[in-house]
Amino acid sequence: MAKARGEEAGGEIEREDVASGRLHGAIARSLGAAIVSGKHQPGDILTNEIEASERLQVSRSAYREAIRILAAKGLVESRPKTGTRVSPRARWRLLDPEVLSWFFESEPSESFLQELYELRMIVEPAAAALAAKRRDQGQLERMRAALVVMQHETLATEAGQAADRDFHDAVLEATANGPLYTLSSSIGAAVRWTTIFKQRSRNLARDPVPDHWKVFDAIAAGREDQAREAMERLVTLALDDTRASMKA
């Protein structure tokens, strides 16, 4: 099988893509990335299901399930006769983790990163303040453990980055606010994609661990305002690093 020649137009689903998941997921990812990257503009109409599925060499069912995924995330809208068209950007679930990951598949525009950081700057400091008010002993333990690991692994290693994620995750959990948790973890995860950029940029700015400790201390002491400000510095620092490494 797989004797089919490469078609002229772009949309091919690699058999390797499929390896990392189900077929419909791979199709959704491919199409989704094409949409958020602007290859399909809002208002554009996708080729109809029959043709599209034939071009991708997949069954119509698989293709349809992919479309349902995209529709669930607000990227497209389907109607009989009209077809499936890309929705206006205002309907996109920009904070859905998958949608965000599709943005980061082809380096997102600087302005989008800017907006993401702006939102993060609004949300995370407030989250830190809430955490200072509500954290329990177990959560504090988790934060401390994460920072200890982070301290002598640094952000260069996989373990160090995992510890960083774990620290922030513990802070969010401590807010005891479900919606806030899902929100910040989406942004955080997305923004941490940029860590890849940061790391491949030669000079790794300055050590972020001390600033993390300041956040921790404030949360442990139950000082809301102090926690908010410490987190603000942390986010600002991260933004600076990212900006610097993108100019480079």
Partner DNA sequence: AGATCAACAATAGTCCGACAAATAGCGGCC
Partner DNA sequence: GGCCGCTATTTGTCGGACTATTGTTGATCT
Interface residues toward a copy of itself, by CB under 8 A? 24, 28, 61, 64-65, 68-69, 71-73, 89-90, 92-98, 112, 115-116, 118-119, 122-123, 126, 130, 176-183, 185, 187
Site for DNA contains 109 (CB under 7 A):
no
Find which of a copy of itself, DNA, none residue 84 binds, CB within 5 to 8 Å per kind.
DNA
Which of the stretches 15-23, 36-44, 100-108, 159-167 binds DNA when contact is defined by CB under 7 A? 15-23
Q: Which H helix or E strand runs over 120?
A: helix 110-134
Q: How far apart are CA 242 and CA 246, in angstroms?
A: 6
Distance between CA atoms of 222 and 227, rounded to whole angstroms?
8
Least distance between DNA and beta carbon 48 (Å): 3
221 binding DNA? (CB under 7 A): no
Contact 67, 78 (CB under 8 A): yes
Chain centroid to Cα 247, Å, comes to: 21
Q: CA torsion 173→127→209→157, rounded to 10°? A: 50
Q: How far is the CB of 65 from DNA (least distance, A)?
A: 6
- Give the rounded distance of the alpha carbon of 69 from its chain centre: 17
Tokens of 217: 């201390």
Taking CB under 7 A as the criterion, the residue among 4, 38, 39, 48 binding DNA is 48
Residue 83 touches which member of a copy of itself, DNA, none, C-beta under 5-8 Å by kind: DNA
With CB under 7 A as the contact rule, which of the stretches 78-86, 126-134, 166-174, 191-199 interacts with DNA? 78-86
Selected from 17, 18, 74, 195, the binder of DNA by CB under 7 A is 18
The least distance separating a copy of itself from the CB of residue 238, rounded to whole angstroms, comes to 16
Q: Give me the amino acid identity at 181.
A: Y
**Distance from C-alpha of 36 to C-alpha of 237, rounded to nearest angstrom:** 28
- How far is Cα 21 from Cα 15, in angstroms, rounded to an integer? 11
Residues 56-75 that bind DNA (CB under 7 A): 57-62, 64-65, 67
Angle, alpha carbons 66-67-69 (nearest 5°) = 65
Binding site for DNA (CB under 7 A): 18, 22-24, 46, 48-50, 57-62, 64-65, 67, 78-84
